Structure 1
Amino acid sequence: MSLRILSADERLAEAQGKTTLAIFGPSGGGKTTLLTTMPEEKTVCLDFEAGLKSVQNWRGDSLPIRRFADAVDIACMIGGANPAAQPDEHFSEAHYAHLRAQHPELAARLDAKSIVFVDSITDLTRQAMAWAKTRPEALSERTGKPDTRGAYGLLAREVIGLLKHLQHAPGKTVIFVGILERLTDEMNRTIWQPQMEGGKAARELPGIVDQVMTLSLFSREEAPDGGVTWRHDPDKGQERRLVCRSGNPWGLPAKDRSGRLDMTEPPDLGALLSKINQPLKG
């Protein structure tokens, strides 16, 4: 039996050493530049977009990934072995041992990183969909023709499995960034939602991560008491802010499991993680 009771001190120490975040924002809105607020020596960027031109001065490590099969292997090397996986399944002890034996230098570089920046989860799901369409599950047993429902079902299972495996990576903070799209419903209401292949993965992601945030543009306004208020102005705003709490007045995706963040925060992930993980007083 591998079960073990954690003391309060052990649990708090583990919580302060890792956090999982999902950050969504419009295309071209500066999501990748959040990487420049992270410590270079501790961070690795999993680059699914080939889109790091905006952070050329950032001197941290990046790992280009163009196939979903490679994404699964990298997630296994980062997250370790899943003791519940069967020997022939992804993330099993056999899978993990094989990868470390085949790529010892890469394994050592990844072991040295405590922050994993996934850019982006949108492109990760696109790679997963391209892979799912090639699998037997994506073909109808009766006709042998492509079965879209089968492909989407496989996509959801595999992507959610990968996200949960990274969530459990020991001692790692994992940050997923993705595209946020604006939709207008039949009643002319604006709806903001993550852009991902497959609705199931998009729906389950907020329940997997600790924090959900939206990066968007705001305009600064003076409050009656002399303070500052922020007006959501996604088309003409001059300042980027991270929306961090659910129930925000703009209907933007957000969740703060730590309970320590304001409604909006400056776009500095290093400072944000310090605020989330600050020790409790008393």
Structure 2
Amino acid sequence: MSLPILSADQRLKEYKGVKAVLLGQSGVGKTSQLWTLPAEQTLFLDLEAGDLAVQGWQGDTVRPRTWPEFRNLVAFIGGPNPALENDQPYCQAHYQVACQQLGDPSQLDKYTIFFVDSITALARICFQWCKTRPEARSEKTGKPDIRGAYGLHAREMIAALMHLQHVRGKHVIFVGILEERVDDFNRRIFQPQIEGSRTGLELPGIVDEVITMASLPNEQGELQRSFVCQTLNPWGFPSKDRSGRLDLIEPAHLGNLLQKISQPLVGERRLDFASAQPAPQQAQQGQ
């Protein structure tokens, strides 16, 4: 047995999936970005029944309604984590249970993109489940312990996100609502709308890209939807580009953005974004 070293050629030939968070205020058109993705290679994880803007989209959809359902789906997508014990989520035993419930994992082979809409709704589903667990009750009095619920919530959310992070050959896009508030010094602050503070704080360190979708003026002074992609931006939007290939402002086209990050690809598999259809006029107006 030898040290499993990857050569530069081997690493460059690997198909690398992008893990990204797409943030934006309600109604800016986040869900409609599905129209820019190849439908036959995309699985839509619809968590908030907000698919009215993409009702004519031809891709496949799953609709987990509870946290255990979503957690099993994450295990099914990501496979077992060999570093975990058999009583922990995403271990080998959990993966086997997920396969018994969801079927042959090869059915996911055709999907290259998982579009999770939204992480805001997902956090609410997770917290609702956490409040029913023993950790959410005081050991001494048996009364609800909100601190215990939030602690469990943070562990569950971060474990799920990190498990999806290690799905190397797939793109995973988390959609989230962008929240605007004013701090004690009367400064505008933008942050992801996610139940519990820890998940929102650790999320940028887990994913590769944090993209804010916003309506910004163009050279003619007209508002148009754009992606803000760099941390240092004049609006204070949460953004991050680990690839180093994105400009401060990119056109609001998620398919082209993934293509720009992924190119040049040395491996054989490529996404066929040419097959993605432009969004219908009515879909461009909604989320």
TM-score (norm 1): 0.90
How far the C-alpha of 1:280 sits from its partner, in A, is: 8.3
- 2:61 matched residue in structure 1: 62
* Mapping for residues 29-108 of structure 1, pairs under 5 Å: 29-104=28-103, 107-108=105-106
- 1:227 matched residue in structure 2: none
How far the C-alpha of 1:243 sits from its partner, in A, is: 0.3
How far the C-alpha of 1:122 sits from its partner, in A, is: 0.5
2:122 counterpart of 1:124: yes
CA–CA separation in structure 2 for the residues paired with 1:13 and 1:144: 55
- 2:226 matched residue in structure 1: 241
Does structure 2 conserve the Cα–Cα contact (< 8 Å) formed by 1:183 and 1:191? yes
CA–CA separation in structure 1 for the residues paired with 2:141 and 2:2: 46
- 1:210 matched residue in structure 2: 208
CA–CA separation in structure 2 for the residues paired with 1:120 and 1:238: 25
How far the C-alpha of 1:143 sits from its partner, in A, is: 1.5
Does structure 2 conserve the Cα–Cα contact (< 8 Å) formed by 1:48 and 1:65? yes
- 2:20 matched residue in structure 1: 21
How far the C-alpha of 1:13 sits from its partner, in A, is: 2.8
Does structure 1 conserve the Cα–Cα contact (< 8 Å) formed by 2:112 and 2:171? yes
Does structure 1 conserve the Cα–Cα contact (< 8 Å) formed by 2:13 and 2:265? no
Q: SS at 1:94's partner residue?
A: helix
2:254 counterpart of 1:269: yes
2:264 counterpart of 1:279: yes
How far the C-alpha of 1:186 sits from its partner, in A, is: 2.4
Which of these residues, 237, 240, 258, is aligned with residue 243 of structure 2? 258
Q: SS at 1:221's partner residue?
A: coil
- 1:226 matched residue in structure 2: none
Does structure 2 conserve the Cα–Cα contact (< 8 Å) formed by 1:47 and 1:118? yes
Does structure 2 conserve the Cα–Cα contact (< 8 Å) formed by 1:40 and 1:59? yes
Query: Deviation digits for residues 130-167 of structure 1, max 9, x if unmatched?
Result: 00000000001121111111000000001000000001
- Where does structure 2 lack aligned partners over 5 or more consecutive residues? 267-287
CA 186–271 in structure 1, closer or farther in 2 if over 3 Å, else same: same
Greater relative contact order (Cα 8 A, min sep 6): structure 1 or 2?
A: 2
How far the C-alpha of 1:108 sits from its partner, in A, is: 3.5
- Structure 1 stretches (4+) deviating beyond 4 angstroms? none
CA 82–142 in structure 1, closer or farther in 2 if over 3 Å, else same: same
User: What amino acid maps onto 2:264 in structure 1?
Assistant: P
* Mapping for residues 221-232 of structure 1, pairs under 5 Å: 221-222=219-220
Q: SS at 1:240's partner residue?
A: strand
Query: Deviation digits for residues 196-247 of structure 1, max 9, x if unmatched?
Result: 011001000000001111001011135xxxxxxxx7xxxxx63100100011
- Where does structure 1 lack aligned partners over 5 or more consecutive residues? 223-230, 232-236
Query: Deviation digits for residues 29-72 of structure 1, max 9, x if unmatched?
Result: 11100111111011001111111110112100110111011010
CA 3–192 in structure 1, closer or farther in 2 if over 3 Å, else same: farther
Root mean square deviation, CA, Å: 1.8
CA–CA separation in structure 1 for the residues paired with 2:183 and 2:93: 48
User: What amino acid maps onto 1:67 in structure 2?
Assistant: T
- 2:151 matched residue in structure 1: 153
Q: SS at 1:27's partner residue?
A: coil
- 1:228 matched residue in structure 2: none
Q: SS at 2:124's partner residue?
A: helix
CA–CA separation in structure 1 for the residues paired with 2:213 and 2:3: 39
